[in-house]
Amino acid sequence: MAQMPSSDLTAHIEALKTHDCRSIVLCSGKGGVGKTTLTANLGIALAKLGHKTCVVDADYGLRNLDLLLGLESRIVFTAQEVISGSCRLGQALVKHKHETNLMLMPAGNPRMLDWFNPEHMRNLVTMLADSFDFILIDAPAGVEDGFKNAVAGANEAILVVNPEISSVRDADRVAGLLSSQGTFDLIQLVVNRVRPRMVEKLDMLSIEDVLDILAVPLLGVVQEDEQVIVSANLGEPLALGKSKSPAGIAYGNIARRIQGEEVPIPDINAKPEGFMNRLGDFLSTKII
Amino acid sequence: MTISELLNRLSGNKRTSANSACSRLRMVLAHDRSDLSPAMLDQMRLEIMEVVSKYLELDHTGSELSLETEERSTALVANLPIRRVRKLVR
């Protein structure tokens, strides 16, 4: 299917180095932990910081990145046509409505699952490397072929995990697979959908618990936020900053950390509202 | 430590659901990471005991071989209670 010059295993890594581009895959193993939402928001946040950013939808079975970015009606060509040589790279890329530094490389139809392979992904990244500062690849759930394709094009990884027992177990498996691959310069962790009240009542794994178990360096923490669903309804990621929300602020902070800024990770503590919550705050006062 | 954690400790109530999740995860990840099946582990336990029994008399009921995990490394931990040292005939 591929009609491009075949690249060897490291051509994309060289292209990334030459063009000073970072290609980051977002993966989790488990589905529903917020990979696609995080990809969309970090794409927006990095673009806002002035970086030319491309988000690549590598979830060919169940694509959704276009919807979360509000770009579903603007797709003409996809990665499928680019790889098969029936359109140019620039024809498939969709520019974001508000953040002109952000482009989406849409996923083709689910039949791509039958033929797309890691070499295709490496070729795609090689082509993108000279036009972008950041490439964010949204991996599908699972650790099968789709996952292997997605990680093949990256030199960094963000492991997305929820403080839940099954998510942590799956993330550990993914972390093992990533490090055994040996092609990653950096693997970092985002703990997503944290519920501070539950952590406080010791009914949810804390950030420390998760870090202790996974031993992957922490890049950021995002708390559960209803606004995420509202923003998905509208196709306007929270990182656009139209409304101030805890998750939107967290995404912005993560993007700043990605570009190398030192932004402290705040202690996730819920705001006091009413007596019970104030009592909760009193009980969670640090004494040692 | 927070006040609520202190209260939890003082009341001896250590079985919070987060604690259960932590200990279950540690157990299951030790097995996931090492890729050892429980059957293999048990076989290993029997063979190790066979070797050790040449030198020491062991309490077979109390012996246990388990995987423990810390950071990303996994250790095999054997707990073999000794009844007495065998007098070796040289």
Closest CA to A169 of B17, B28, B70, B16: B28
Closest CA to A228 of A59, A53, A34: A34
Q: Which residues of B touch A205 (CB under 8 A)?
A: 18, 21-22
Contact between chains at A282 and B8 (C-beta distance less than 8 A): no
| Shortest alpha-carbon distance between residue B16 and chain A (Å) | 6
Contact between chains at B18 and A202 (C-beta distance less than 8 A): yes
Strand runs labelled E in chain A: 22-27, 53-57, 94-95, 102-105, 134-138, 156-161, 186-194, 218-223
CB contact residues (below 8 A), chain A span 145-164, against chain B: 164
Which of A30, A161, A165, A284 to mutate to probe the B interface, most B CBs <10 Å?
A165
* Whether the predicted pLDDT of A2 surpasses 50: no
pLDDT tens digits for range B21-78: 998 998 888 888 887 777 888 888 889 988 998 888 888 888 888 887 766 677 888 8
Q: Which residues of A touch B8 (CB under 8 A)?
A: 202
Closest B-chain CA to A208: B22
CB contact residues (below 8 A), chain A span 74-113, against chain B: none
Instruction: Identify the band that residue A269 occupies on the pLDDT scale cut at 50, 70 and 90.
Output: low
Q: How far is CA A171 from the centre of its chain?
A: 14
Question: Cβ(A205)–Cβ(B22) under 8 Å?
Answer: yes
Q: Which residues of A touch B12 (CB under 8 A)?
A: none
Which of A189, A202, A284 to mutate to probe the B interface, most B CBs <10 Å?
A202
pLDDT tens digits for range A129-143: 999 999 999 999 999
ipTM of the complex: 0.74
Closest A-chain CA to B74: A213
Closest CA to A75 of A61, A55, A52: A55
Question: Cβ(A77)–Cβ(A87) under 8 Å?
Answer: yes
Percentage with pLDDT > 70 across chain A: 90
Q: Which residues of A touch B5 (CB under 8 A)?
A: 202
Contact between chains at B28 and A169 (C-beta distance less than 8 A): yes
Helix (H) or strand (E) holding B84: strand B82-85
Q: What is the reported pTM? A: 0.83
- Within a 10 A sphere around the Cβ of A154, how many other Cβ atoms? 31
Q: How far, in Å, CA of A24 to CA of A135, rounded? A: 6
